[in-house]
């Protein structure tokens, strides 16, 4: 009798734990933080949400209120289509706004600093999600935009 009572008690306890894990209020297993954007940082080219971006586009341009992103610790993370793993662009280099292709987004940042990261050749007819990545940190890239190539 005691053995069957322990089995029933264990079954009830296990069911309660499993139900709690399946609850909408449960804490996610992964606690990896999102990479910090280092000030107000936005993608300006390609324009976020753009479609028919030339497939020969090899650079992503951002504007930021932070003027130290070219120190070698920051770059882009590119999520290709079909859930393939991120690949990473080069570290950001500071550039003048005049080097950004047109049309590009106009950031609502006072006196922004502009940067470029080379992401290499992209496939045509594909949607890419762009993230801001902090090198040498365990963090998920912070999304800054997406676009679709021709």
- Stretch 44-73: mean pLDDT: 95
pLDDT at 14: 37
Q: Which two tokens stand for residue 133?
A: 């990545």
Domain ranges of the chain: 41-148
* Alpha carbon distances (Å) from 144 to 18, 63, 86, 149: 36, 11, 14, 17
The whole-angstrom separation of Cα 18 and Cα 30 is 18
Cα 60–Cα 58–Cα 89 angle in degrees, nearest 5 = 60
CA torsion sign, 133 to 135 to 137 to 138?
A: positive
Q: Could you say which architecture CATH assigns to the domain 41-148?
A: Sandwich (2.60)
pLDDT, position 18: 35
pLDDT of residue 37: 80
The tens digit of pLDDT for each residue in 112-146 reads 999 999 999 999 999 999 999 998 888 889 999 99
Write out pLDDT tens, residues 74-120.
Answer: 999 999 988 788 899 999 999 999 999 999 999 999 999 999 999 99
pLDDT tens digits for 37-58? 888 999 999 999 999 999 899 9
Closest CA to 60 of 98, 114, 96: 114
pLDDT (0 to 100) of residue 111: 96
Residues with Cβ < 8 Å from 20, sequence gap 6 or more?
26
Structure confidence at residue 74 (pLDDT): 94
Q: What pTM does this model have?
A: 0.77
Q: How far apart are CA 94 and CA 117, in angstroms?
A: 9
Which residues, at least 6 apart from 126, have a Cβ–Cβ distance to it below 8 Å? 80, 81, 148, 149
Per-residue pLDDT tens digits for 12-32: 333 333 333 333 333 333 468
The DSSP-derived string for 109-128 is: -SS-EEEEEE-----TT-EE
Please name the residue ranges forming H helices in the chain.
2-21
Q: What is the pLDDT of residue 31?
A: 63
């Amino acid at each position: 009798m005691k053995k069957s009572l322990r089995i029933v008690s264990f079954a009830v306890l296990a069911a309660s734990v499993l139900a709690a894990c399946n609850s909408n209020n449960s804490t996610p297993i992964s606690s990896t933080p999102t990479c910090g954007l280092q000030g107000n940082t936005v993608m300006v080219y390609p324009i976020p949400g753009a479609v028919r971006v030339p497939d020969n586009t090899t650079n992503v341009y951002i504007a930021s209120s932070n003027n130290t992103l070219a120190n070698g610790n920051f770059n882009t993370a590119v999520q290709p289509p079909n859930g393939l793993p991120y690949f990473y662009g080069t570290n950001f280099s500071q550039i003048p706004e005049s080097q950004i292709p047109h049309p590009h987004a106009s950031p609502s940042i006072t006196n922004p600093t502009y940067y470029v990261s080379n992401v290499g050749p992209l496939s045509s007819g594909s949607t890419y999600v762009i993230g801001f990545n902090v090198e040498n940190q365990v963090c998920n890239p912070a999304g800054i935009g997406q676009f679709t190539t021709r």
